[in-house]
Structure 1
Amino acid sequence: MPQPVRLGYPAAAAVFAIGMAGTTLPTPLYGLYREELGFSELMVTVVFAVYAVGVITVLLTAGDYSDRAGRRPVLLLALLLSAASALCFLFEGGLPLLFAGRLLSGFAAGLFSGGATAAVLDLAPPEARARAGFAATAANMGGLGCGPLLAGLLAEYAPRPLALPFLTHLALLALAALLLLGLPETVENREHRPRPRPQGMIVPPAARAVFVPAALAGFAGFSLLGLFTAVAPSFLAETLGVRNLAVAGAVVFSVFLASTAGQLLSPRLGVRRALPRGCFVLVLGLALIAASLLAESLPLLILGAVTGGTGQGLAFRAAVTSVGTAAPAAQRGATVSAFFVVAYTGISLPVVGVGALTRWLGLRPAGVLFTAIVALLAVLVGLRLRRTPAPEAA
């Protein structure tokens, strides 16, 4: 009797990408919510930051859950949380459901980050491990970029701009669930209904000298991603006069596309060169973004997005590799999880600061000040890494 066809790692990567797309779907729509509900730019950044709270909570309490419960149950739970988030946005009647939707989205992203990455790598044959690693990276960043692009196009050129993007994502989640049913379970000795095991942040003494600059580089890079996914549409509308939501979604998409390209280039340079160079390319991108705000230039903003995203991708992949290499094998997973906690703090707290500064300085000065502070951090980290290079991967 012929065996049923089982899908491989590309299908797992597709599930990963669909799930991550939902986490950035509201990005071009925040301006519409502001008009409908009448809240401030600060509240936009707070609503966005709730997502990072959800991700960090999962990383600290259930980072290894898919290793114990199995990949498919965890990914199914993540898909259900994504669907619940979309329903919160569909039926929103004020800030409470927006907050709930973002929190559920963060929980889903936290589960996808570990479970889907592991599933993609588990399903790859030995000769395709390198391709699978890039597939997981591309699914993560590509999915994050496709969310704003899809929402912007639908909101600008289709009816019901605050409903159709989430209805479309619900349909995509149903497709992802069908793909998931075709994936084999790769965890053999699963626990029955394991309880989460809070781990906190674990950084072994042997890895701390490498962890600190790598984590700060991750913080700076994710701050750039947070800026674009939280307030870039407001910058476009209020500073540059660009109110086309499809353009806003495309600009955010360009950052994540460039990040994926940077991560693809990183291994060719090696960790020692990619990490400091990524920091300096990130600085150049931030300078271009600041210049675009001062000159009110959309082309400069796009150039800054692509340059900064490339630098973020270069530094990010090299930072994860260096942290994983420096950590003892028994504590490698926990150390990498601690790195992601710092990175996701970078995607949330700085943009809330931008929202707060906007109330006193205005959007353009707040954006320029933000880019200057993050650029200074990236410069200091890059100089430190040039003096003390990170270890190459074993």
Structure 2
Amino acid sequence: MSRTATSSRTGFVLVTLTLGLLVAASSAPSPVFPVYQELWGVGPAAVTVVFAVYAAVLLVALLTVGSLSDHLGRRPVVLAALVGVIASMLVFSQASDVATLVAGRALQGFSTGTAIGALGAWLLDLAGPTRAPLAQLVNGAAPPAGLMAGGLGAGVLVQFGPAPTELTYLVLAGLLLLALVAVALTPDVVGRAPGALRSLRPVVQLPASSRGAFTAHLPGFLGSWGLGGLCLGLGPSVVAGVFGLHNHVVGGLVVASVAGVGAVTGVLTRHQDPRRVMTLGMAGLVAGPLVLVLGLTLLSVPVFFAGALLSGVGFGAGFQGALRGVLGTAPAHERAGVLAAVYVVSYLAFGLPAVVAGFLAPHLGLRPVVDGYVALVVVAGVAGLTASVRAGRRTPRHSAAVPGQLRRSPEACPLQERA
């Protein structure tokens, strides 16, 4: 075994852990928000503003620097982004008002948007063609696993640890510092493409070979991440406001139930055809949220969490199937751009409905807002399920795309023309 091969395999593990940790840091503030509301006397609208700033700035980063690592290299871009995320954790740990939280979330959002596509593309680079299916699996499973770890871990620290508004962020800052050292030792293995300055123009760009697959799998991204936004944005509020459970660990369990089952589902379906995985996910995105609403109607915590677990199947399989279906068409030198496009639509679905729900909840009540949110997720699930079934009927079995097959592409074709 060569030294380069050993380094690449070790680097694959380190980049995987870094990706999961980055997503964990994004979900960790959710269990802390109720503490801020109690300490500072602020309402749900203030928390919604903090949530909205993160989602908006992350999207700006994806649209501008999301594909920068294709041109400058994975390592320097990820290192710079990790420095930004660490700084945001330190800002959070010293926050004493909403304005400081907004500043920290803005810094975290831009840094996360800068790194997330680069990390996913780096995994594919390090895996090479022979292990591409593994890299695609990790790209789909690491975000749900990170959401679970961040939400549940922060809930435990807030409930049982000292300094509930500081400890979570200081722990994450230390772990991210270790990740920064690990990334600095991980090799870049793919050459850099020209056009770094041109790539900064805010346009979502996809290779021509990926556009059809991206459109076909769009409901998977929208439904799965819309469900994730529901759990992170309203999950702790639902268990406290509807069921009267104010334990921060229980609030974190809502996130962990959906995201954890999502990660496990992604692993268990790794050898299945992406279209079948997508179909399973869309079915879960229809059934799971409906059971959630049934639990709220019956005021039954077990039924509610059963819906959360079933929703996790939809989250994991929906995102995994869609991601594998799209990444299988991406050429090596445009992977970060493809992943940036995936995360643009995913985080729009993740953030926008949650922000609207946060503003409507004080006026309409929590239950009607949750019902409307669930309806949107179910509509995306039905659309994706219908498309998957129709595609299965039209496409002969032997012509289905092989999971992990990376096809070369003609020149990139942007979703919107450059000026």
Q: Give the alignment's TM-score, normalised by structure 1.
A: 0.89
C-alpha contact 1:68 1:190 (8 A) present in aligned 2 = yes
**Contact 1:43 1:355 survives alignment (8 Å):** no
Please name the residue that 2:387 is paired with: 384
Give the aligned partner of residue 359 of structure 1.
362
Secondary structure class of the residue paired with 1:282:
helix
How many angstroms apart in 2 are the aligned matches of 1:324 and 1:170? 31
Residues 176-212 of structure 1: CA distance to partner in whole angstroms, max 9, x if unpaired? 1222233223345588996752251236787666544
1:393 aligns with 2:401: yes
- Which residue of structure 1 lines up, in the alignment, with residue 245 of structure 2? 242
Shift of 1:328: 8.6
Percent identity over the alignment is 33
Q: Report the residue type matching 2:174 in the other structure.
A: A
The 5 A counterparts of 1:1-394 are 6=7, 7-124=10-127, 127-189=130-192, 197-202=200-205, 210-324=213-327, 334-389=337-392, 392-394=400-402
Compared CA separation, residues 179 and 202, structure 1 to 2 (3 A):
closer
SS at match of 1:347: helix
Q: Cα–Cα, structure 1 residues 125 and 269, in superposed 2: closer, same or farther, change >3 Å?
A: closer
The one-letter amino acid of 1:73's match is P
Secondary structure, in 3 states, of the residue corresponding to 2:217? Answer: helix
User: Structure 1, residues 256-278: CA drift from partner, whole Å, max 9, x if none?
Assistant: 11111232244444233222331
TM-score w.r.t. the length of structure 2 is 0.84
Deviation at 1:352, TM superposition (A): 1.6
CA 1:324 to 1:37, structure 2 compared with 1: closer, same or farther past 3 Å? Answer: same
Q: Please report how far the alpha carbon of residue 346 of structure 1 lies from its aligned counterpart in structure 2 after TM superposition.
A: 0.4
Would the aligned equivalents of 2:117 and 2:340 in 1 still touch at CA under 8 Å?
A: no
Rounded to whole Å, the distance in 2 between the matches of 1:369 and 1:140 is: 25
**Alpha-carbon separation, structure 2, partners of 1:120 and 1:269:** 20
| Local SS of the residue matching 2:186 | coil
Q: Aligned partners of 2:96, 2:70: CA distance in 1, in Å? A: 38
Q: 1:366 to 1:20 in 2, by over 3 A?
A: same
Letter in structure 1 aligned against 2:251: A
Letter aligned with residue 293 of structure 2: A
2-side partners of 1:18 and 1:136: how far apart? 13
Displacement of 1:302: 1.9
Q: Which residue identity lines up with residue 305 of structure 2 in the other structure? A: I
Deviations 1:59-88 (CA, angstroms, capped at 9, x unpaired): 211122112222221111121111121122
The verdict on how the C-alpha distance between 1:175 and 1:192 changes in structure 2, with shifts beyond 3 A counting, is: farther
Contact 1:294/1:364, CA 8 A, preserved across alignment: no
Q: 1:279/1:167 Cα in 2 relative to 1: closer, same or farther (>3 Å)?
A: same
* Cα pair distance change 1:334/1:171, threshold 3 Å: closer
Consecutive unaligned residues of structure 1, counting only runs of 5 or more, are none
Aligned with 1:58: secondary structure?
Answer: helix
C-alpha distance after superposition, 1:301-351 (max 9, x if no partner): 222222112112212122223334567998776455333212211001111
Q: Equivalents in 2 of 1:94, 1:267: separation in Å?
A: 44
User: 2:371 is matched by which residue type in structure 1?
Assistant: V
Alpha-carbon contact 2:259-2:315 (below 8 Å) kept: no
CA distance, structure 2, for counterparts of residue 83 and residue 219 of structure 1: 29
CA contact (8 A) 1:321 1:393 kept: no
C-alpha separation between the residues in 2 aligned to 1:274 and 1:108? 31
- Compute the displacement of 1:131 (Å): 3.2
Which structure 2 segments of 5+ residues have no match? 403-419
CA RMSD, aligned part only? 2.9
Q: Deviations over 1:140-199 (max 9, x none)?
A: 322222111111111100111001111111111121122223322334558899675225
Task: In structure 2, give the amino acid aligned to 1:393.
Answer: A
- One-letter amino acid of the counterpart of residue 175, structure 2: L
